[in-house]
Amino acid sequence: MVQPATLNNARRDFYERLGSLSMAPLWESLHQLVPPQPMPKYRPACWRYDAVRPFLMESGTLITAREAVRRVLILENPAMPGSACITPTLYAGLQLILPGEVAPSHRHTQSALRFIVEGEGAYTAVDGERTIMHEGDFVITPTWTWHDHGNDSSRPMVWLDGLDIPLVAMFNAGFAENGESEEQAVTAPEGTSEAKYASGLLPVDWKPARQTSPIFNYPYARTREALHRLTRAGPADACHGYKLRYVNPANGGAPIATMGTFMQLLPKGFASAPYRCTDGTVFSVVEGHGESRIGDTTFRWKKRDHFVVPSWATAVHQATDESVLFSFSDRPVQERLDLWRENRGGR
Ligand code: 1HN
């Protein structure tokens, strides 16, 4: 029998020689490669708007939207410095556009969602149609669509950008190009996509050409009304309160193929049952205040704060006032791949 010390030396020597062939022994990393349950390398984090807003406004004195192309402060997971990721698959940032500014037209294969945090009256244009945005609206710029933004209002406008940048990077499937002019030509009157697709009706001969939703603004007024009516219709879910997912009316799936988006109402005094799921999720607080325990970390939050819940971290949400939370994650991707799991009760 070879002595353990001799064996260890022999193994080390073997690994070194093996490494020169760009090979490695599986048995040294098997447990990390196939963990018994998710072991996220990122953590819960919270960005309070009171702390963030002064920096956003200061950025507005340092660079124009035109020079920056997009004037955005990235929400980066503190456990992934330099990555521009909020989770390993998602990017998030807060974008500022000041009165009179234009963010020039471009397109890329990364899909983007906007969730309006502060202000109203700025527009985003997607493939030739503009929509005026208001607080709480959820707006999409699907993969490879031309988009530019402008603020014709008299106040700063701030929104949350969510993009599938890390996911697209993993596939090495990223393409981008700039528009020929700063603002794309308007080819359809405002409200066209809403009229065609957003009333439980679809144009009779229209066939969807892609997975993404033909609706590009899901206004808060309508979402809020639905949540309010839900509270009258029955009891809250123990884990979610009253929670709805945004939907592509043409196929019942998520409006963006790579990102699921959700809105939930937590009644005043509601304390959720512990819950975990495999989709790391970014939250934007739309109304109210409360606190969330995520694993061992507790964050107090209020309107306009943002926080991230990692995969498989047990979350418990408590609402001091009636509260509304917007969230997004990579859930549709995990579901398509038969990977998504949840655990109600948190065990
Ligand atoms: C982008 O195109 C926007 O169009 C926002 O507003 C954030 C982050 C990275 C890459 C492209 C936008 C972005 C982005």
DSSP class of residue 30 equals H
pLDDT of residue 196: 97
Q: Which atom of ligand 1 is nearest to the CA of 72?
A: 7
Asked if CATH classification 3.40.190.10 holds for the domain at 45-344, the reply, yes or no, is no
Distance, in Å, from the CA atom of 259 to the CA atom of 138, rounded to the nearest integer, reads 13
pLDDT of residue 3: 83
150: which strand partners?
Answer: 102, 123
Q: Give, for ligand 1, the residue of 70, 106, 116, 143 to mutate: max count of ligand atoms closer than 8 Å to Cβ.
A: 70
Residue of the CA atom closest to atom 12 of ligand 1: 70
In short, whether 112's Cβ falls inside 6 Å of ligand 1 is: yes
Boundaries of every domain in the chain: 45-344
Query: Side-chain half-sphere of 126: how many Cα atoms within 13 Å?
Result: 26
70 CA distance to ligand 1 centroid (A)? 6
How many angstroms separate the most distant Cα atoms in the chain? 83
DSSP class of residue 26 equals G
Give how far Cα 312 sits from Cα of 37, 264, 333, Å.
8, 20, 16
122 CA distance to ligand 1 centroid (A)? 16
45 CA distance to ligand 1 centroid (A)? 22
Residue with tokens 């699907």: 142
217-218 and 138-141: which strand pairing?
antiparallel
Mean pLDDT of successive 10-residue stretches along the chain, which has 347 residues: 88 98 97 96 98 98 96 98 98 98 97 98 96 98 96 97 98 97 94 96 96 97 98 98 98 98 98 98 99 98 98 98 99 98 85
Q: Which atom of ligand 1 is nearest to the CA of 147?
A: 4
Q: Which atom of ligand 1 is nearest to the CA of 149?
A: 6
29 CA distance to ligand 1 centroid (A)? 37
pLDDT of residue 2: 75
Residue 103 near residue 69 (C-beta atoms within 8 A): yes
**Per the structure block, which two tokens stand in for 15?**
């690994």
In short, whether 331's Cβ falls inside 6 Å of ligand 1 is: no
106 CA distance to ligand 1 centroid (A)? 9
28 CA distance to ligand 1 centroid (A)? 40
C-alpha 187 chain-centroid distance: 29
In short, whether 147's Cβ falls inside 6 Å of ligand 1 is: yes
pLDDT of residue 347: 58
Residue of the CA atom closest to atom 3 of ligand 1: 70
159 CA distance to ligand 1 centroid (A)? 11
In short, whether 161's Cβ falls inside 6 Å of ligand 1 is: yes
C-alpha 268 chain-centroid distance: 26
